[in-house]
Structure 1
Amino acid sequence: MNILEHNGSAWNHQVESGNEWTKPVTADTVERARRGEWEIILTPTRPVPSGWFPDLKDSNVLCLASGGGQQGPVLAAAGAKVTVFDYSDKQLAQDRYAAERDGLQLTTVQGNMADLSCFADASFDFIVHPVSNVFAENILPVWKEAARVLKTGGTLIAGFMNPLVYIFDVEAEEQGQFVVKHSIPYADITDLSQERLERQIREHTPLEFGHSLEDQIQGQIEAGLVITGFYEDHFGGKSSLDPYINTFIATKSVKMKA
């Protein structure tokens, strides 16, 4: 099956269903951002440290696989020239809705996060990539393309999943039992039972991939980026693993040379 098409359609369905990651920020949040009072998240609960951001005024910012009206409108209100890039047209519509509602200048582009050929080399000063490469079959092209379109000295901030979450049997975990079943890298498309996979497809659930930490971190380094920041986060009590380990990771990386 075409994973890209399925996940794009599934996220359109998530918008229609009111998934929390598809709801635009409020007009009040945008107004406060205009006053310099703002923050964004890459992971479920922990705000990105303020020191990870450059001076946003007139900076060219790419919100990569970041539709939903959550990061883009805030950064635009803070003074950045924002482009939101996503494969789900309805997620992008959420950004346009917030921009029209609040009088923001913001561009949306539909496409695959692993193919940024619509952008020239060194187009952006800053890239924001929240937890979304979990929906990409291969993340190495994502890092390479992000590095290519980033200016020398520019910054990429990214959130992603600790692959540990994918080693457990899904159905057993839903019953509160941790049964180690899968290896990493993981893919719903190959590791779920046929019955479970068909159910996820039928219910328009996005299909996920558990990438290795080597691909997530060394992948950025091999793309020409230098890791300069790191933190962890949890799922806000929504994961059975929350009492034991933080399952989300965020990194800050800088492109040191062309």
Structure 2
Amino acid sequence: MRRYGQAVLMLLVGAAVLRISLFSALYLRYVQSGLRPYLIASGALLVLLGVAAGVRAAREVPDEDETQDPHEHGHTHTTGPRLAWLLALPAAALLLFPPPALGSYSADREDAQRAAQGIGTFPPLPSGDPVDLSVAAFTSRAVYDSDRSLKGRTVRLTGFVTHGDDGTWYITRLLVSCCAADATTSKVEVRGADAPATDTWVTATGIWHPKGRLGSSAAWPPLLDAKAVRRVEEPSNPYEQR
């Protein structure tokens, strides 16, 4: 069986990659959508290499060490090849039980380190209310827009719920540049509505409530006076893009 170890490992890893990229959109929990073709190609190549390695192993004549009783040599085989099978566990776990997208735990680890980004002007918002904004766009305008383009406008935000220690709650999104490893957090404190459970996905409609001096830590996180909050399904791509 040791002869097939390399083939089985490549097949498991390749199947796991294809499982999340070709046969579902689970890859969006880890990387941006533009990387999908590379994931599919990598998974397919690993599967082909695994099949080739398995065929080659099946054609090989077993080594004498594999066919004889190890006690006949007066020693036992090393445990190295057996321990190598542990490498199959992460691939099997990804294939059978892909982990969820980053959520409240990841968001809570990031402090409000926003004050150094600088104040400036932003493009005009689209006409008509409510205007759909990403959480990142809302927070940027609320904290840094010298024209205060959000003032008096009704906005609609979608994200997952996180909670503060003092009973406050936030609508939160994670932003990625390349993959989940570089995710950063944007969040908006919601007032005027009961707090849903942590990690629940919601769409909140409301009006920006100014606070603090522009560009200061006192302006973070921005506030939203909610008119309506409704529960929604988690989007296929849970991350906002930079």
**Which bin holds the TM-score, normalised by the shorter protein?**
under 0.3
The structure that is helix-richer by fraction is: 2
TM-score under structure 2 length normalisation: 0.26
TM-score under structure 1 length normalisation: 0.24
